[in-house]
A and B are shown apart, each in its own frame.
Chain A
Amino acid sequence: MKIVAVCGLGMGSSMMLKMSIDDVLKAEGIKAKLESVDVGSAKGMDADIYVLSQELEKNAKDFSGKVIVIKNLTDTDEIRDKLLAVLNKE
């Protein structure tokens, strides 16, 4: 499984998202490939799950996998809950 954290440039907020997602995956014992990318690159990528902030949601229609929209990138509970909700459906 491949998860990507998406932001405008692929190195600021997406990097913070990636760290939070990594914490969740480790805590839950889930193995996944995790990358942070910019919006442009994300469109051409083949990932299972895309995680991005709500301000970038309009870009999500071009993504090939499931999309998780995060309101507050510093809220680990929100990230955990939304991520697990999608993962548990897999």
Chain B
Amino acid sequence: MDKLLSTDMVQTQKKADDWQAVAKMSGSLLLEKDLIEEKYIEAMIKAVEEHGMYIVIAPGIALFHARPEQGVKETGLSLITLKGGVNFGVADKDPVYLAFALAAKDKTSHLNLLSNLSKVLQDQAVVEKLKQALDEKTLVDVLNQKLKEETK
């Protein structure tokens, strides 16, 4: 099974004022690895403004993304964890502690990533560990351990 996240695609225990700041932080990780063009980050924010906060997929968890043609170079995923959480304005799911940003080059290349991500997020104990991880290595170890169990 593919690795879901590497330590350089993760930043733990960050602080942010609002959801736009969180989008920019998670998007910056994709930008630094040259997976996206800068305009993709704005597109992720616009997608929320246009369609609503449906990107908060579960209590405490957000998944930012835009369309392939809005500046994706390569498929990838990043994660920011938020110290104390950030309110996204979704009453029963606030605050958000885990903010993922997804770049998908086409309609299928990210399916394996999403499938792995689903398995991880369906496990409440793992989600708690991800929220609490104090550094990038601890977080990635939690993810890899979970995925290893899934493939057994």
Per-residue interface assignment for chain A, residues 71 to 87, with 1 indicating a CB less than 8 Å from any chain B CB and 0 otherwise: 11111100000000000
B122 touches A11 (CB 8 A): no
> Chain A residues with Cβ under 8 A from B65's Cβ?
9, 11-12
> Chain B residues with Cβ under 8 A from A65's Cβ?
none
> Chain A residues with Cβ under 8 A from B114's Cβ?
12, 15-16, 19
Per-residue interface assignment for chain A, residues 1 to 21, with 1 indicating a CB less than 8 Å from any chain B CB and 0 otherwise: 000000111011101100110
Answer yes or no: A32 CB below 8 A from chain B CBs: no
> Chain A residues with Cβ under 8 A from B117's Cβ?
16
Listed stretches B32-40, B102-110, B140-148; interface member: B102-110
B47 touches A8 (CB 8 A): yes
B104 touches A20 (CB 8 A): no
Size bracket, chain A contacts: 20 to 34
B residues lining the A interface (CB < 8 Å):
47-48, 50-59, 61, 63, 65-68, 90, 92-93, 102, 104, 107, 110-111, 114-115, 117-118, 121-122
- Of residues 49 through 69 on chain A, the ones whose CB sits less than 8 Å from some CB of chain B are 52-53, 55-56, 58
A8 touches B55 (CB 8 A): yes
SS of B interface (majority): mixed
B66 touches A53 (CB 8 A): no
* Contact for B111 among A15, A58, A73, A74, CB less than 8 A: A15
A residues lining the B interface (CB < 8 Å):
7-9, 11-13, 15-16, 19-20, 39, 52-53, 55-56, 58, 71-76
> Chain A residues with Cβ under 8 A from B107's Cβ?
11
A16 touches B67 (CB 8 A): no
> Chain B residues with Cβ under 8 A from A8's Cβ?
47-48, 50-52, 54-55
